[in-house]
Amino acid sequence: MQLAPSTLRVHYSYVTAIFRLAELDRRKEIVPLAVTVVAALLDGTPGWYRSLLLLAAASGLWQGELFGLEVEHIDFPGTSV
């Protein structure tokens, strides 16, 4: 498939903008939630969402990483993800 030069420029600008934003996002300071806040959230969270929330709070994984997590990604004996 051959794309016109103007189409390539548009797509290139989109991709570079995405990477530029990702780089800026990486520089932000991450402030973890206080243990009391996590505990309060867990108390109000139903069912299997509690496990997801606890893993998110304890690991620092991003939403996409959490939702993409599969059983084979977890080392249960070694207690690592």
**Residues 20-76: pLDDT tens digits?**
887 777 666 777 889 999 999 999 888 888 888 988 898 888 888 888 988 888 888
pLDDT computed for residue 17 by the predictor: 87
Most confident of 6-10, 34-38, 43-47, 77-81: 34-38
Of 69, 54, 80, 62, nearest to 26 by C-alpha is 62
Q: What is the pLDDT of residue 37?
A: 92
Residues 58, 51 contacting (CB under 8 angstroms): no
Per-domain boundaries in the chain? 5-73
pTM of structure: 0.57
Nearest to 55 by CA among 47, 63, 72: 63
